[in-house]
């Protein structure tokens, strides 16, 4: 009998919840799409807990995020990898950025930046960094202890990447995004640095996440380049919004997965809603993630955001 050798898939995707609160319907939808994208290519899925946002991280939320994913039927092959256990790797990467002349200590406070900012910036972003601390060069004195964060020096050349859903995305890093923090005051890694170090170290080949992070991708691509790391592919999926068109929040009713779970709603109903709202199926009906693997395709995904009202959702899915 002839045997056919099938090359193992090299696709590696990841689920990366932030335990800063409960995971909600929007997170479930993004997790499903990230999971399906990897599984539909026969790929592996990693779980990473993004718990470095220390003042906002809730210890109960780590466990709850893991339970939510299990409940939804989204499995993983490796992890959970915990970001707070990886500070040494982040520190090494920071060292390289400093040595490359691309990071400088910044003593500006939020209000300093807001007061000095005049250039236009993207709606959802904080004001553009006005450049107060940019003259610092390697060898200059470093300010006292906890009074500064490390900030990354972006290039002034426009940069672009191909998004799986949106196609070509182009940004001018300096004019639109500005230099950005890669650590907090005190030196612990900030999101942009940690996520690049982790995705590269974990061999992630595709990052699927909410499109609120589109501009972060341009920032992260600059970090990949300076660190000499291979960037993954990206797919930014539309966020779930409240009925008022704003990002899903408490005022839009209770959309926590843990609430639906406690109310006895079947996880297949959540997955069915997520799949229909994303354009993967024509009619909303209960379904498991596994049952969707064969029909997943990026070309089917809708690009427009979906809106949801917590109370109505609960009433309709009971």
**Distance of closest approach, residue 5 Cβ to ligand GLU, in angstroms:** 34
117 binding ligand GLU? (CB under 6 A): no
Which of 44, 102, 153, 209 contacts ligand GLU by CB under 6 A?
209
Which of 46, 108, 195, 200 contacts ligand GLU by CB under 6 A?
195
18 binding ligand GLU? (CB under 6 A): yes
Which of 50, 51, 68, 163 contacts ligand GLU by CB under 6 A?
50
Q: What angle do CA 149, 151, 152 make, to 5 degrees?
A: 155
91 binding ligand GLU? (CB under 6 A): no
Q: Where are the alpha helices (DSSP H) in the chain?
A: 25-39, 59-72, 87-99, 110-116, 191-201, 214-227, 257-262, 267-278, 289-292, 310-317
Q: Which stretch binds ligand GLU (CB under 6 A): 11-19, 117-125, 232-240, 301-309?
A: 11-19
Classify residue 138 as exposed, middle or buried by CB count within 10 Å of its CB (0-12, 13-18, 19+).
exposed
**Tokens 């090299």 -> residue:** 10
Q: What angle do CA 56, 186, 20 make, to 5 degrees?
A: 10
Nearer to ligand GLU, 130 or 231 (CB): 231
198 binding ligand GLU? (CB under 6 A): no
Nearer to ligand GLU, 18 or 255 (CB): 18
DSSP state of 176: I
Token code pair at residue 211: 């499109």
16 binding ligand GLU? (CB under 6 A): yes
Which of 113, 116, 117, 213 contacts ligand GLU by CB under 6 A?
213
179 binding ligand GLU? (CB under 6 A): no
What are the C-alpha distances in Å from 33 to residues 38, 63, 100, 200, 229? 9, 22, 37, 21, 25
Nearer to ligand GLU, 83 or 136 (CB): 83
Torsions phi, psi of 42, nearest 5? Answer: 70, 20
17 binding ligand GLU? (CB under 6 A): yes
**What is the edge-to-edge ordering of all strands in the sheet holding 78-82?**
12-15, 44-49, 78-82
In the window 267-306, what residues touch ligand GLU (CB under 6 A)? Answer: none
Give the integer Cα–Cα distance in Å for 169 and 158.
11
Size of the residue set binding ligand GLU (CB under 6 A):
7
Residues at the interface with ligand GLU (CB under 6 A)? 16-18, 50, 195, 209, 213
């Amino acid at each position: 009998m002839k045997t056919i050798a099938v090359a193992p898939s090299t696709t590696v995707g990841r689920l990366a919840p932030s335990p800063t609160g409960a995971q909600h319907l929007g997170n479930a939808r993004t997790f499903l799409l990230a999971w399906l994208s990897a599984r539909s290519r026969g790929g592996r899925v990693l779980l990473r807990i993004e718990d470095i946002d220390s003042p906002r991280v809730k210890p109960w939320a780590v466990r709850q995020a893991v339970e939510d994913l299990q409940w939804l039927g989204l499995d993983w092959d490796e992890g959970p990898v915990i970001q707070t256990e990886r500070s040494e790797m982040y520190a090494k990467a920071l060292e390289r950025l400093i040595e490359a002349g691309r990071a400088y200590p910044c003593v500006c406070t939020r209000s300093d930046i807001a007061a000095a900012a005049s250039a236009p910036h993207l709606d959802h972003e904080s004001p553009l960094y006005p450049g107060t601390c940019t003259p610092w060069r390697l060898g200059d004195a470093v300010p006292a202890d906890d009074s500064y964060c490390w900030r990354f020096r972006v290039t002034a050349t426009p940069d672009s990447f191909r998004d799986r859903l949106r196609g070509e995305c182009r940004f001018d890093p300096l004019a639109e995004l500005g230099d950005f923090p890669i650590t907090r005051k005190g030196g612990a890694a900030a999101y942009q640095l940690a996520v690049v170090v982790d995705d590269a170290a974990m061999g992630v080949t595709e990052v699927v996440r909410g499109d609120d992070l589109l501009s972060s991708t341009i920032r992260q691509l600059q970090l990949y380049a300076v660190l000499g790391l291979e960037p993954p592919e990206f797919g930014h999926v539309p966020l779930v919004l409240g009925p008022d068109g704003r990002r899903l929040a408490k005022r839009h009713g209770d959309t926590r997965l843990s609430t639906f779970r406690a109310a006895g709603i079947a996880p297949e109903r959540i997955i069915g809603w997520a799949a229909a709202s994303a354009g993967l199926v024509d009619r909303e009906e209960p379904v498991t993630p596994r049952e969707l693997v064969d029909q997943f395709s990026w070309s089917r995904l809708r690009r427009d955001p979906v809106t949801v009202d917590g109370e109505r959702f609960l009433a309709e899915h009971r």
